[in-house]
Amino acid sequence: MIDGCNRTSALWKIVLPLAAPGIAATAVLSSLLVWNEFFFALILSGKHTQTLPVLVNTFVSEKSIDWGTMSSAGLITVLPLIIFGLLAQRHLVRGLTMGSVK
């Protein structure tokens, strides 16, 4: 109210830019934990509904391991998280350096 803003514009102009590094760090860490959740996906998914980490596990059998297919599926599984981490990196670095400058 001091800056001439109502509550909504104060939220968008003041609070969210200050909280953006924390929100970015939380988004990256929670997406990593959810994306790589293997145990619950293995037990709760059906035969026709599998997540990507469970799909990568299907290339391992008792007699052989299909290394090429498993490697390419693992790369495709990790690629969205790498892209998301690179996009959120700007907010993370800004938040770390903002606390060091007076």
CA angle at 58 for the pair 53 and 64, rounded to the nearest 5°: 130
The answer as to whether 16 is a domain residue is no
Backbone angles phi and psi of 54, in degrees to 5: -70, -35
Q: Percent of the chain scored above 90 by pLDDT?
A: 1
Identify the domain containing residue 60 by its residue range.
Answer: 21-98
- Angle between helices 16-35 and 67-98 in degrees, nearest 10: 160
Summarize pLDDT for 14-62 with one digit per residue, the tens.
Answer: 788 888 777 877 887 788 777 777 788 878 877 788 788 888 888 888 8
CA atoms within 13 A on the CB side of 94: 13
User: Hey, what are 9's tokens?
Assistant: 């514009």
The answer as to whether 15 is a domain residue is no
- Structural domains in the chain (count): 1
**10 Å Cβ neighbour count for 53?**
18
